[in-house]
Amino acid sequence: MAKKNKTVRPKARLPRGLRDVGAHEIRAMSDMLDAIRNVYDIYGFEPLDTPAFEYSDALGKALPDQDRPNAGVFSFEEEDGQWVSLRYDLTAPLARYVSENYDGLAKPFRRYQTGPVWRNEKPGPGRYRQFTQFDADTVGTDNVAADAEICMLAADAIERIGIPRGDYVIKINNRKVLDGVLQTAGIDPVAPENAEQRMTVLRAIDKLDRLGREGVALLLGAGRKDESGDYTKGAELAPEQIAPLLDFVSASDGDLDTILTRLRSLVGDSERGQEGVEELRQIGALLAAAGFEDDRVRIDPAVVRGLDYYTGPVFEAELTFEATGDDGRAVRFGSVGGGGRYDGLVARFKGVVVPATGFSIGVSRLYAALEALGKTNSATATGPVVVLVMDPEHTADYQAMTRDLRTAGIRSEMYVGTSGMKAQMKYADKRHAPCVIIQGDDERAAGEVTIKDLVEGSLLSTKIEDNKEWRESRPAQISVKRDELVEAVKSVLARHNG
Amino acid sequence: MAKKNKTVRPKARLPRGLRDVGAHEIRAMSDMLDAIRNVYDIYGFEPLDTPAFEYSDALGKALPDQDRPNAGVFSFEEEDGQWVSLRYDLTAPLARYVSENYDGLAKPFRRYQTGPVWRNEKPGPGRYRQFTQFDADTVGTDNVAADAEICMLAADAIERIGIPRGDYVIKINNRKVLDGVLQTAGIDPVAPENAEQRMTVLRAIDKLDRLGREGVALLLGAGRKDESGDYTKGAELAPEQIAPLLDFVSASDGDLDTILTRLRSLVGDSERGQEGVEELRQIGALLAAAGFEDDRVRIDPAVVRGLDYYTGPVFEAELTFEATGDDGRAVRFGSVGGGGRYDGLVARFKGVVVPATGFSIGVSRLYAALEALGKTNSATATGPVVVLVMDPEHTADYQAMTRDLRTAGIRSEMYVGTSGMKAQMKYADKRHAPCVIIQGDDERAAGEVTIKDLVEGSLLSTKIEDNKEWRESRPAQISVKRDELVEAVKSVLARHNG
């Protein structure tokens, strides 16, 4: 009896919330990222790369809990006892970089960065623990021209990758205006003791899309019970405080002047509120001067963004078209990116305020939208020409043919397996080869090669039903002299791409 | 007295062995990676991406030590108690991927992958804990044509990025030939009890470059004491066993036939050894058929590669030119990549042998060599045209000018800071702006803009010494009608690039 192998073999599988990415997506994604990069370059931003992990304290997370060091972020302890974490966004590393290199930087400092970020959160459909962001930020100026420019940048990038005008909108709001409305309602928005209540208000408004005015009203008041019976505690505002907030978030109708007039009256004599409205007016004017109209960029007071570090203008990029999902139902992609002004992040290190504004694209969501629009077919994605190995004795000849094709810039390969003809044809099919090259004894004797057009062949095979007729007519198959191989393959490829 | 801020601020710094990468390197590196990618695409390989971390056991590392989970690799424990590790190369994830998706893959499976890998080792000059690799592998065939192709691929990739023929060489050897030599010397190379001795022999031969024949002879025998007095234990071979090994590693002189004849006699009647020589002969024939001569790819028995998982042919890409380092001394770059046949990696999961061969480029080393050759100037690296803000009241006008330039595809930006003229000019200088656009009151009244050519200007400033003359002649500065701005800037840029 044969000896049983008792070695325990590891199972080949990925941890949950992680995935492999195949050729099609890599190529199309790379085209998409190149398009965005091109826009950011034209705008004068410079690329920057930071490493995958950093000191946990530099990333702005509290020292990880010894017992659960990986809650939210992935962290590990260095041999010297210091904690490091995988980056969870690209903004925290930027703040560290700017602080570390402040004196040497041309200011305002304008950089873009793309790359994976990691979050140790519960994965779900389309929600991964590793995903890609693409950020652009301007650091070192409180000039609203920088905010206006970020909105143009976002709109141009989305259009450049192939989302048509009208199918997206960049929405702008200003945290200061919301603060003004709160102030008018008798709540000091910057008092530390009100910070939690203010965040509850932000989170409630953020749900307008999903819950409507009535749902938000409940969350601004005592609280709300959802369909499952779960109860969410509210911001405990009185009805007379809630009313102006609801007026505020619904103030997006009309042209820019109409909206600004409405906002001015809602913030009353709150200085902070009036400052916010004035910033929105200036941003609107700059956008108009650059030819960005309502159909691309507009003010929408319902946009608040969930993050608490925003201090002024906030932006959200939204896709407005509907696509049909795999299940036949309508899919809306909604937000594909957002950002805003954050004047406190660099201050964490330097102790002085370094104003900054930026925008982050959720790359996977944007890609999913492009896929739904049928716009992810990269030009480089065609399969290789496959040179079949009819006779292993003559491998060197087949290798030389492959070499000639490659030298001419034609994507091609000699079959490097050891199986027979049938398996080789199957391989070529599976690789989506546009054609295969064949040289058997007869062809060799005649100094010829045969080119079998698989694209044409599979089209014809739907028309010719008789097996015999097929074999006799040998459709989509031509023989040429060996030294005419490259030119002949070029014409086959040209026919398919033409 | 002002209240003292008692908050402890984190220090802005990176953990050791990590670094930020700036615009110049990112752009040039991206050009380099695109060139390699292009070659691999032409060869018919397909891209694949795997996530940054995987289950530790799937990556082939023993379960990390609870006390030192980060020795060698970076590992952390998931909430369910399973260990995951950041990938330390791209081969282990490939083995996991192939095993997981085996049935659905077109075989041989040919993929390339590039990305960062992480090693928790002591950093040093040019040695980082995060670095980039670029791998290509063919999985699922024991055909030596696949090995020969990998060597062509490596040579073509290195040439495509700009290393001239003659400045690099791909060296090939075969582990089986070394095994044959050992067998002839009376050591069974595949017996488990000899595994350690065989690795000691491999490591000794690997040092031929540095220690010469005599040093290697000591390491093959009793051992060797280095200059610092440290003693390295040897492989304990007898003098009559050492002699054929030294003949083997020095057998690289002469043409292919001469080398093969010499190797055949060295392996004697070892079947494994003769098999190895025959594989080298076939690889040599295929390379010759594809036009790869001795000046690009050649057999060198001194190449053994340190990794123990190679089972047949091994490859090493070496740069042969010398460059001058920052300290004026000659620098040799040596190995910039390597690979070989490994038939056991996928077997770890599947229990059956899945033969594979591949090559990994050490991207940073290759980049350093390109830098030394002065070939890292990316075409996209010119600074932006900067539109100065002479009068903040007219920001919208400056924004519109910037918009016009961008729409014409000209990299440009409006200054978005809040400082005065002098600081704006300094900013433009620091950004390497080719020119700045100026519109003050006079120009506005005349419907004109001024273009100041900074490249030309800085050239002239070395010639004109008189400050007054400078001001009066206003060199490198032209005024044009506002609607001629784009065309005028285009000609300034064309002059610099011409």
pLDDT tens figures, A27-53: 999 999 999 999 999 999 999 999 999
Q: Does B475 touch chain A (CB under 8 A)?
A: no
Instruction: Give the residue on A whose Cα is nearest the Cα of B355.
Output: A417
Interface with chain B: mutation pick from A416, A418, A419, A425, highest number of B CBs within 10 Å: A416
Q: In the block, which residue shows the tokens 């080119």?
A: A451
CA distance A14 to chain B (A): 6
Q: Interface pTM (ipTM) of the complex?
A: 0.90
For residue A155, list chain B residues with Cβ-Cβ distance below 8 A.
none
Q: Nearest CA to B340 among B298, B379, B370, B310?
A: B310
CA distance B403 to chain A (A): 6
For residue A18, list chain B residues with Cβ-Cβ distance below 8 A.
51, 53-54
3-state secondary structure of A194: helix
- Tokens describing residue A383: 């399969």
Question: Residue B295 forms beta bridges with which residues?
Answer: none
| Gap between the Cα atoms of A213 and B488, Å rounded | 54
All residues at 6 or more sequence positions from B167 whose CB lies less than 8 Å from its CB, including other chains: B319, B320, B321
Which strands form B412-414's sheet, in the order they lie side by side? B412-414, B385-387, B435-438, B448-453, B477-481
Residue A168: what residue type? Answer: Y
Q: In the block, which residue shows the tokens 């989305």?
A: A158
Helix (H) or strand (E) holding B220: helix B208-220
- Tokens describing residue A93: 């590393």
Q: Taking the CA atoms of chain A, what radius of gyration do you get in angstroms?
A: 30
Instruction: Identify the pLDDT of residue B442.
Output: 94
For residue A132, list chain B residues with Cβ-Cβ distance below 8 A.
none
Local confidence band at A495 (pLDDT 50, 70, 90 cut-offs): confident
- Count CA atoms closer than 13 A to B284's CA, side-chain side: 21
All residues at 6 or more sequence positions from A246 whose CB lies less than 8 Å from its CB, including other chains: A213, A216, A217, A220
Q: Does B462 touch chain A (CB under 8 A)?
A: no
- Tokens describing residue A222: 């005592």
pLDDT in tens, A278-307: 999 999 999 999 999 888 999 998 888 866
Which of B11, B44, B413 is nearest residue A411 as measured by Cβ atoms? B44
Residue B343: what residue type? Answer: D
For residue B100, list chain A residues with Cβ-Cβ distance below 8 A.
12-14
Cβ-defined contact of A13 to B55 (cutoff 8 Å):
yes
Q: Does A83 touch chain B (CB under 8 A)?
A: no
Instruction: Check: CB of residue A140 under 8 Å from CB of residue A355.
Output: yes
Q: How far is CA B196 from the centre of its chain?
A: 31
- Comparing A80-89, A408-417, B61-70, B169-178, the range with the smallest average pLDDT is B61-70
Residue B235: what residue type? Answer: A
Class of domain A23-52+87-372 (CATH, top level)? alpha beta
Cβ-defined contact of A417 to B291 (cutoff 8 Å):
no
Instruction: Check: CB of residue B121 under 8 Å from CB of residue B49.
Output: no
Cβ-defined contact of B396 to A149 (cutoff 8 Å):
no
A80: number of Cβ within 10 Å: 7
Q: Nearest CA to B320 among B165, B478, B192?
A: B165
Task: Compute the residue count for chain B.
Answer: 498
Helix axes A485-497, A395-407, angle to 10 degrees: 50
- Tokens describing residue A186: 């008798």
Residue B5: what residue type? Answer: N
Q: Does A88 touch chain B (CB under 8 A)?
A: no
Q: In the block, which residue shows the tokens 């390699």?
A: B36
| Gap between the Cα atoms of A120 and A69, Å rounded | 10
Interface of B with A in 58-77 (CB under 8 A): 58, 60, 68-70, 74-77
Interface with chain A: mutation pick from B21, B25, B53, B425, highest number of A CBs within 10 Å: B53
Q: Does B424 touch chain A (CB under 8 A)?
A: no
CA distance A21 to chain B (A): 5
Please give the DSSP secondary-structure letter assigned to residue A90: S
| Gap between the Cα atoms of A43 and B413, Å rounded | 6
Instruction: Identify the pLDDT of residue B197.
Output: 87
Peptide bond between residue B108 and the one before it cis (omega within 30 degrees of 0): yes
Domain ranges of chain A: 23-52+87-372, 383-497
The runs of H, that is alpha helices, within A374-466 are: 395-407, 421-430, 441-445, 454-461
Interface of B with A in 356-385 (CB under 8 A): 380, 384
For residue B291, list chain A residues with Cβ-Cβ distance below 8 A.
400, 403
CA distance B420 to chain A (A): 13
Q: Does B33 touch chain A (CB under 8 A)?
A: no
Cβ-defined contact of B418 to A142 (cutoff 8 Å):
yes
CA distance B445 to chain A (A): 19
Q: Is the dihedral of CA A188, A192, A195, A196 positive or negative?
A: negative
| Gap between the Cα atoms of B448 and B441, Å rounded | 10
Q: Nearest CA to B248 among B260, B239, B235?
A: B260
To the nearest 10°, report the CA torsion of B304, B306, B308, B313. -30
Instruction: Give the residue on B whose Cα is nearest the Cα of A283.
Output: B396
Interface with chain A: mutation pick from B5, B8, B19, B20, highest number of A CBs within 10 Å: B20
The runs of H, that is alpha helices, within B221-346 are: 239-249, 256-267, 271-289
Instruction: Please tell me chain B's helix, strand, coil percentages from 3-state DSSP, rounded to the nearest 5.
Output: 40, 20, 35
Count of helix runs (H) and strand runs (E) in chain B: 17, 18
For residue B104, list chain A residues with Cβ-Cβ distance below 8 A.
none
Q: Nearest CA to A86 among A107, A56, A115?
A: A56
Count of helix runs (H) and strand runs (E) in chain A: 17, 18
Cβ-defined contact of B27 to A50 (cutoff 8 Å):
no
- Count CA atoms closer than 13 A to A450's CA, side-chain side: 18
CATH code assigned to B382-497: 3.40.50.800
Q: How far is CA B326 from the centre of its chain?
A: 20
CA distance B429 to chain A (A): 9
| Gap between the Cα atoms of B161 and B370, Å rounded | 8
| Sequence-ordered strand ranges (E) for B178-329 | 223-225, 231-233, 297-299, 313-324
Instruction: Check: CB of residue A136 under 8 Å from CB of residue A40.
Output: yes
For residue B427, list chain A residues with Cβ-Cβ distance below 8 A.
106-107
Cβ-defined contact of A44 to B107 (cutoff 8 Å):
no
Cβ-defined contact of B9 to A76 (cutoff 8 Å):
no
Interface with chain A: mutation pick from B49, B78, B131, highest number of A CBs within 10 Å: B49
B72: number of Cβ within 10 Å: 13
| Gap between the Cα atoms of A274 and A276, Å rounded | 5
- Tokens describing residue A9: 């073999």
Instruction: Check: CB of residue A364 under 8 Å from CB of residue A335.
Output: no
| Gap between the Cα atoms of B59 and B348, Å rounded | 10
For residue A118, list chain B residues with Cβ-Cβ distance below 8 A.
52
Cβ-defined contact of B69 to A47 (cutoff 8 Å):
no
pLDDT in tens, chain B (498 residues): 444 445 678 899 999 999 999 999 999 999 999 999 999 999 999 999 999 999 999 998 644 445 555 678 998 888 888 999 999 999 999 999 999 999 999 999 999 999 999 999 888 888 899 999 999 999 999 999 999 999 999 999 999 999 999 999 999 999 999 999 989 888 888 888 888 888 888 888 888 888 889 999 999 999 999 888 889 899 999 999 999 889 888 888 888 999 999 999 999 999 999 999 999 999 999 999 999 988 899 999 888 886 678 899 999 999 998 887 778 888 888 899 999 999 888 888 988 899 999 999 999 999 989 988 888 876 556 899 999 999 999 999 999 999 999 999 999 999 999 999 999 999 999 999 999 999 999 999 999 999 999 987 776 666 666 666 655 555 689 999 999 999 999 999 998 875
Q: Does B414 touch chain A (CB under 8 A)?
A: yes
Instruction: Give the residue on B whose Cα is nearest the Cα of A28.
Output: B47
Q: Does B81 touch chain A (CB under 8 A)?
A: no
Q: How far is CA B293 from the centre of its chain?
A: 25
Q: In the block, which residue shows the tokens 């200088």?
A: B429
| Gap between the Cα atoms of A86 and A235, Å rounded | 34
Interface of B with A in 140-179 (CB under 8 A): 140-143, 145-146, 148-149, 152, 156
pLDDT in tens, A120-151: 988 888 889 999 999 999 999 999 999 999 99
- Tokens describing residue B368: 């350093």
Which of A51, A118, A286 is nearest residue B14 as measured by Cβ atoms? A51
3-state secondary structure of B346: coil
Q: Please state whether B388 falls in left (phi above 0), alpha (psi between -120 and 50) or beta.
A: beta
pLDDT in tens, A154-200: 999 999 999 999 999 999 999 999 999 989 888 888 888 888 888 88
Cβ-defined contact of B76 to A79 (cutoff 8 Å):
no
CA distance A247 to chain B (A): 31
Please tell me the pTM assigned to this model: 0.91
Q: Nearest CA to A267 among A146, A200, A173?
A: A173
Q: Does B335 touch chain A (CB under 8 A)?
A: no
Q: Please state whether B478 falls in left (phi above 0), alpha (psi between -120 and 50) or beta.
A: beta
* Fold match, A23-52+87-372 / A383-497: no
| Gap between the Cα atoms of B317 and B360, Å rounded | 10
Q: Nearest CA to B335 among B314, B318, B358?
A: B318
Residue A113: what residue type? Answer: Q
| Gap between the Cα atoms of A70 and B64, Å rounded | 17
Cβ-defined contact of B13 to A100 (cutoff 8 Å):
yes
Instruction: Identify the pLDDT of residue A64.
Output: 45
- Tokens describing residue B363: 């991207």
Instruction: Check: CB of residue B217 under 8 Å from CB of residue B246.
Output: yes
Q: Does B21 touch chain A (CB under 8 A)?
A: yes
Q: Nearest CA to B350 among B145, B116, B98, B14?
A: B98
Instruction: Please tell me chain A's helix, strand, coil percentages from 3-state DSSP, rounded to the nearest 5.
Output: 40, 20, 35
Which of A12, A100, A431 is nearest residue B349 as measured by Cβ atoms? A12
- Matching CATH number, A383-497, of 3.30.565.10, 3.50.50.60, 3.40.50.800, 3.30.2350.10: 3.40.50.800
Interface of A with B in 270-289 (CB under 8 A): 285-286, 288-289
Q: Nearest CA to A101 among A51, A139, A62, A149?
A: A139
Cβ-defined contact of B9 to A349 (cutoff 8 Å):
yes
In three state form, how does the secondary structure of A121-173 look?
CCCECCECCEEEEEEEEEECCCCHHHHHHHHHHHHHHHHHCCCCCCCEEEEEE
For residue B47, list chain A residues with Cβ-Cβ distance below 8 A.
23, 26-27
